[in-house]
Chain A
């Protein structure tokens, strides 16, 4: 690795330093605020260093990583998401009073982000593996984080322990599937780089099938989705936001690069399998969300459906020039909207002494807190993909890519899925217009919600700044 490679790696090195530095700081002086500033400062430095460190042309840094416009776009998106999650975490963990130990959560968040950046730049299975597991192992701990202190007999701690163990067992089993798949491909081709498969292969197809199962587990695609609502329900809200946005979008970025470099969709069987996963996720995700009365579980099912929409883009790679752009725009729309939704859950559902995640808690929100209510309406409209929000721009791009690639029946399923989605998103709006619950308070970081909602509308009305900056590939 030469000086240019080292320069391109600066953001990753800064993030690793941020994780280690925050941990050392917590070792010498236990102060939640200090750890928070160290975390946000480190992320800000990494973000600023990106402008300087990102090479002009695509640069291969060791055989593992490739630093190009694709990496730059996703890196900026992931760092900004992680900063928003850090803000949510600061608000959330403070709720537990002064006793709660919050410092380590920032260390783990920084490690998660580091894994996400490695995934965004991965062009080799070893990098995919390292990035994925950095992210997974740190998020197991984060999901179970509330039970870290003295055992207290209350619901929050018990649920988070259950969620953490379930996540650990299922995610590790999925990792094993993924690794076995990679092993088969390696046995066949003798190389771990993202490259097209040789024409005469015996083991690569079963390997790809195992790889697909592992990825589908981690992205929570139907029929491998059953773990995700439980994890969202049990995890602390900022961590649920992390699992919903960063974990999924980073893995999706790496898979997108593999599909693109490996020209995988030339293989007919694989394209059909991915199409079936996409269709099932869009339909069943939305259908299961219909009967949910718990906001976090509803968001989990809605996120399953959104990943189904994203898979449509994956199928268009290689057939439509627009595909990578469409994926980039949709990942942005999905991240901003989902973060906004979870920030709102943090404000509205966790205001009282006992967190209450029933949908009824949103009753009368538009009258109790007009700005928050309006933000919630915007977030829901963006999730549903209504014009003038970022969600619409994302869905429009997916449609354009799908039309260009001629994926007609999948686009039909997408329309049906979106129509079902509209029903349950608008039901929350109806609840919000209805009567207020007896004990409903508002708390937490309102301005984060306002900021994300404003971003949704601004970029929905005037998306040019993002569109002009898309990865040119």
Chain B
């Protein structure tokens, strides 16, 4: 099997990260914003897997597992808050969150 160059993997991760970032910035639906965040975190996790494969040590894979845990914890908290917001406003629109200004 031919080796895949590291640059390709990094470009893939960067593209995934950018898609996630654009999603967080332009989406107005909170559930989609959380999904875009997941995408960003998964892109970073991929970089660690890539590093672990390149250097042949386990650090990258350990970091991958921890990033997965973080993503789960964040989404758990995030979805709880989104459910609360839905109960209150009957909408998932992030533009509802604009009471505070200044």
B101 CB to closest chain A CB, in angstroms? 8
B8 at the interface (CB under 8 A from A): no
Contact of A186 with B59 in the complex, beta carbons under 8 Å: yes
Contact of A133 with B70 in the complex, beta carbons under 8 Å: yes
A165 at the interface (CB under 8 A from B): yes
A-B contacts at CB below 8 angstroms, number: 125
A129 at the interface (CB under 8 A from B): yes
Q: Within the assembled complex, what's the spacing in Å between the Cα atoms of A130 and B34?
A: 21
B residues near A (Cβ < 8 Å) are 6, 10, 13, 17, 20-21, 24, 30, 33-34, 37, 40-41, 43-45, 47-48, 50-51, 54-55, 57, 59-60, 62-63, 66-67, 70, 73-74, 77-78, 81-82, 84-85, 87-88, 94, 97-100, 102
A144 at the interface (CB under 8 A from B): yes
Segment at the interface with B among A170-178, A329-337, A367-375, A395-403: A170-178
Q: Convert A191-209 into 0s and 1s, putting 1 for each residue whose CB lies closer than 8 angstroms to a CB of B.
A: 1100000000001000000
A163 CB to closest chain B CB, in angstroms? 7
Contacts of A162 in B (CB 8 A): 97-100
Interface residue from A133, A159, A169, A294 paired with B24 (Cβ < 8 Å): A169
Q: Within the assembled complex, what's the spacing in Å between the Cα atoms of A144 and B81?
A: 8
Question: Could you tell me which residues of chain A, from 132 to 190, have a CB within 8 Å of some CB in chain B?
Answer: 133, 137, 140-141, 144, 147, 151, 158-159, 161-166, 168-169, 172-173, 175-176, 179-180, 182-184, 186-187, 190
A360 at the interface (CB under 8 A from B): no
Interface residue from B41, B55, B73 paired with A176 (Cβ < 8 Å): B41
A65 CB to closest chain B CB, in angstroms? 15
Contact of A126 with B63 in the complex, beta carbons under 8 Å: yes
Contact of A186 with B77 in the complex, beta carbons under 8 Å: no
Please classify the interface of chain B as helix (H, G, I), strand (E, B), loop, or mixed, using the class held by over half of its residues. helix
**Given A169-B33, A172-B74, A176-B41: A186 in contact with B102 (beta carbons within 8 A):** no
Contact of B59 with A192 in the complex, beta carbons under 8 Å: yes
Candidate in A141, A144, A176 with the most chain B CB atoms within 10 angstroms: A176
Contact of B20 with A176 in the complex, beta carbons under 8 Å: yes
Contact of A165 with B82 in the complex, beta carbons under 8 Å: yes
A306 at the interface (CB under 8 A from B): no
Contacts of A192 in B (CB 8 A): 59, 63
Q: Within the assembled complex, what's the spacing in Å between the Cα atoms of A147 and B89?
A: 13
**8 CB < 8 A contacts A-B:** A126-B59, A126-B66, A144-B84, A161-B84, A176-B17, A176-B44, A190-B57, A294-B102
Q: Within the assembled complex, what's the spacing in Å between the Cα atoms of A291 and B52?
A: 50
Contact of B84 with A151 in the complex, beta carbons under 8 Å: yes
Contact of B51 with A190 in the complex, beta carbons under 8 Å: yes
A230 at the interface (CB under 8 A from B): yes
Q: Which 9 A-B pairs have the closest CB atoms?
A: A183-B47, A190-B55, A176-B40, A179-B44, A187-B51, A186-B51, A162-B97, A180-B44, A230-B100
Contacts of B51 in A (CB 8 A): 183, 186-187, 190
